[in-house]
Amino acid sequence: MKVLGIESSCDETGVALVLAEMPAGDGAAPTPRLLAEALHSQVAMHADYGGVVPELASRDHVRRVLPLARQVLAQAQCSVQQLDAIAYTRGPGLAGALLVGAGVAVALATALGKPAMGVHHLEGHLLSPFLADNAPQFPFVALLVSGGHTQLMDVQGVGRYTLLGESIDDAAGEAFDKSAKLMGLGYPGGPALARLAEQGNAQAFALPRPLLHSGDLDFSFAGLKTAVMTQHRKLGPAPADHTLADLAASTQAAIVDVLVAKTVGALKARGATRLVVGGGVGANHRLRSQLNDAARRLGVQVHYPPLHLCTDNGAMIALAAALRLQHGQAVLQRSGAFDVKPRWPLDQIDAG
């Protein structure tokens, strides 16, 4: 089965094609394989505005999605008639941007008489490590760290997700982005702050580790952002480069410390032997190295998506849909096609 995936929830238009074999008699099937992928990032377009402008994002998705789809199909030498399903990001995300991907996917699927499958964006991130060479096995604990969400999940199988904890205010990516913005590092802030942090001293500023000892698996990053703002103000209008690098390093350390501590808490609570990390912040080097160290101590195996598939892409959407098809959980979603607020975690199979 060939599944085309379209991601258009924010500032990246991603299209990809995945090949999935259907389970044999024993119910087992190999992990779906990525055949081709293409991505257009809108970062340069939004940079002048210091953040994503939703209307510009939607219009750019309109411009990019069909050329990218043609590129992917040509690369894989696949015709549209050979597609078996069209998947798209159903939400969460910017409404106008989501509508572009949903509209194209549903129109294409209807014209071809094939299923259109709405995929929850976070399910795409959660399953994206299956695109890596050493795919994880169920069950596992998942740490989802994106620009809009920070969540710990207990994952028993495809579609069997239980929320263990989440951020009660800002997401980890948001903490990176907002701290970067107030330090004058522009957009997108996370990678810029991480780069600057490499030259700084992580112990230079004593920043809070919110909810570190709360005894649960929830996160809070809004207070940290305020503490960074206070420290930044104290530095005056033109802080020295090395001082700003110290503040970036201290900020990154505070975010990573909390993420690692809570993840360790979740692994211990579930007695898990596998950890899966998904979402843009999963590209962060300090987070990866500290999670790897903690996991080694616990005897836990960690799985990440390939680095370029940590941030938004079409491959994770195609893959999530393909895994659902393999597990008999695919649904033709006619009525729910434009529902931009799907339930999460998806603990039930959607009925079309």
- Select the span of 76-84, 144-152, 229-237, 243-251 touching Zn ion (CB under 5 A): 144-152
Per CB under 5 A, contacts with Zn ion among 275-334 are 312
Nearer to ligand KG4, 136 or 190 (CB): 190
Question: Where does this chain touch Zn ion (CB under 5 A) — which range of 104-112, 145-153, 189-197, 199-207?
Answer: 145-153
Tokens of 124: 């795409």
Q: How far is the CB of 237 from ligand KG4 (least distance, A)?
A: 25
| Preceding amide of 188 cis, omega within 30 | yes
Minimum CB–partner distance for residue 341 and Zn ion (Å): 16
User: Which residue in this structure is represented by tokens 């990390």?
Assistant: 277
Q: Closer to Zn ion by CB, 7 or 218: give it.
A: 7
Residue 189 near which of Zn ion, ligand KG4, none (CB within 5-8 Å, type-dependent): ligand KG4
Indicate which of ligand KG4, Zn ion, none lies near residue 90 (CB less than 5 to 8 Å, by partner kind): none
Minimum CB–partner distance for residue 252 and ligand KG4 (Å): 7
Q: How far is the CB of 28 from ligand KG4 (least distance, A)?
A: 30
d(C-alpha 177, C-alpha 171), whole Å: 10
Q: Which is nearer to ligand KG4, 194 or 211 (CB)?
A: 194
CB closer to Zn ion out of 200 and 342: 342
| Residues in contact with ligand KG4 by the rule CB under 6 A | 10, 125, 146-148, 173, 176-177, 188-191, 194, 279-281, 283-284, 311-312
In the set 13, 146, 220, 333, which binds Zn ion (CB under 5 A)? 146
Q: How far is the CB of 328 from ligand KG4 (least distance, A)?
A: 28
Q: Which is nearer to Zn ion, 312 or 350 (CB)?
A: 312
Give the residue with the Cβ less far from Zn ion, 15 or 207: 15
Dihedral sign for Cα 321, 346, 7, 95, please.
Answer: positive
When CB distances are held under 5 to 8 angstroms depending on the partner's kind, the choice from ligand KG4, Zn ion, none that residue 19 binds is none
Cβ 283 to ligand KG4 shortest distance, Å: 4
- Residue closer to ligand KG4 by CB (options 140, 176) is 176
Distance of CA 187 to the CA centre of its chain: 18
- Nearest distance from C-beta of residue 173 to ligand KG4, angstroms: 3
Angstrom distance (rounded) from CA 274 to CA 154: 11
Distance CA 171, CA 91 (A): 17
Tell me how far apart the alpha carbons of residues 217 and 293 are, in angstroms, rounded to a whole number. Answer: 20
String marking each residue 218-237 x if it binds Zn ion according to CB under 5 A: --------------------
Binding interface with Zn ion (CB under 5 A): 146, 312
